[in-house]
Structure 1
Amino acid sequence: MPLPFLTADGVSDVDDDGDGDEILAHADQDRWRRPYRPGPWRVGIGALLLLLSAFMLLATMIVAFAGGWGGAVICLIAALAVVGSAVQILRIGVWVSPAGLRRVGFFVTRTTAWSEIGELRTVQQPVRWLGLPRTVQGQALTMSAQGGAEAPVLLTDHNADFLSRTEAFDRAADTVGAWADEYRPVAA
């Protein structure tokens, strides 16, 4: 099932084959969108977590049928925590809307209005490989605030969305830049 992802100019990247997945003209244009597709590493980790949660829910059912209600409740809570983690891992990334830019992390989400963003640029620097402490040389999309303060890195070409997909990273960085150009107020 193809998922629709909008580009900066509001064009969907889904082929118009009449299967009903296209963005409707009356759809809410002010909702938050991820301007790129989640990468295979992120989707794979989410799928493995959902598979693990299926086994945990099966264990919950077995424990409940055996009469161990305390254990069944603990298994159910653990399975629901794994499902929530899988969903949150799939949500991690950069989201855009006419209101601003949102960086969604596992525990923290930060929203920055377009008027507070000074400059977006792609730089060559050491980046974390798949979010782990190991760093490698790569590209990063960085954002600087209007006051000149440097905010954390938005995207890298070695994160779970873009590892071994440099063309996808370039497209995503260009799309986020296009959103910024469209919605950031022009300095007088």
Structure 2
Amino acid sequence: MPLTFLSAEHDAQADATESPLPHGQQDHWRRPYRPGPWRVAGAAVALLLAAYVLISAVIIAVAGTPRGALATAVIALLGIVFALRLLRVGIWVSSRGVRRVGMFTTRTLRWREVTAVRTVQQPVKWLGLPRSVQGQAVEVERRRGGPLRTLLTDHNADFLTRPDAFERAADVLEAWADEYR
């Protein structure tokens, strides 16, 4: 049985037939791209460590004090929450606006507050670290207030090894902005 959905030719056909706004329900918040391998790997490692900590909490509960087991279980739950939040970090769009979800904060900007969404060449941070490299970034200009922090870069955890995915995500963000601005 051929698995056409795994072939590169199917991806090219799907990209050619998709409209810039392929979703029927425009009011739901959605990410216009898939989480990248670096983000998924980081979350997987955090979940793996949380699993080990949960196992140690069970061992401590059986052999030690309940207070130590509870503290260890809380640490494991914090690891699970961290991994889930890491997977949610990114840009989300709907007909209401664009939302930048960070690890600790979420910033929503209504489309009527946006004057332009564009891709620019500039120094960007590599995987969010202090090291900067030359790359592309998607920026949002607001009607009032200071500039919004860079939305996407081609060197972040979602797009480091996927330049085509960055281009598609930037195009989709610009299409959403043109549609609802």
TM-score normalised by the chain length of structure 2: 0.86
Distance 2:105 2:58 in 1: 33
Residues 4-58 of structure 1, C-alpha deviations (whole Å, 9 max, x = no match):
xx974224xxxxxxxxxxxxx7xx5421100000000000000010010000000
Aligned to 1:9: 21
- CA deviations on 1:115-155 (whole Å, 9 max, x unpaired) are 00111111111100001111111000001101373211000
Distance in 1, Cα, partners of 2:107 & 2:130:
22
Rounded Cα–Cα distance in structure 2 between residues aligned with 1:148 and 1:61: 51
Look up the SS of the partner of 1:136 in the other structure.
strand
Mapped partners of 2:126, 2:71: distance in 1:
34
Equivalent residue in structure 1 for 2:50, among 49, 53, 67? 53
Partner of 2:70: 73
Asked whether 1:157 is paired with 2:157, we answer: no
- Distance of 1:29 and 1:171 partners within structure 2: 18
- The 5-angstrom pairing of residues 68-147 of structure 1 reads 68-147=65-144
Counterpart CA distance in 1 for 2:173 and 2:131 is: 26
Q: Which amino acid aligns with 2:91?
A: V
- Work out whether 1:62 is the aligned partner of 2:74: no
The residue aligned with 2:3 is: none
Higher normalized contact order (CA 8 Å, seq sep 6+, divided by chain length): 2
Structure 1 runs not aligned, ≥5 long: 1-5, 12-24
SS at match of 1:102: strand
Distance 2:180 2:125 in 1: 30
Which amino acid is 2:41 matched to?
Answer: G
Taking the aligned partners of 1:29 and 1:113, their CA distance within structure 2 comes to 14
| Identity, % of aligned positions | 54
| 2:152 maps to amino acid | L
What is the distance in 1 between the residues matched to 2:20 and 2:76? 38
Structure 2 partner of 1:17: none
Matched residue SS, 1:119: strand
Partner SS state of residue 138, structure 2: strand
Aligned pair count? 164
Structure-1 separation of matches of 2:110 and 2:69: 45
What do residues 63-99 of structure 1 show as CA deviations (whole Å, max 9, x unaligned)?
0011311110110000000000000100000000111
d(CA) in 1 for partners of 2:140 and 2:20?
A: 17
Structure 1 consecutive aligned stretches of length 4 or more whose deviation exceeds 4 Å? none
Check conservation: 1:118, 1:148, Cα contact below 8 A.
no
In structure 2, distance between residues paired with 1:120 and 1:177: 6
Letter in 1 for 2:72: C
Say if 1:32 and 1:158 are closer, same or farther in 2 by CA, change over 3 A. same
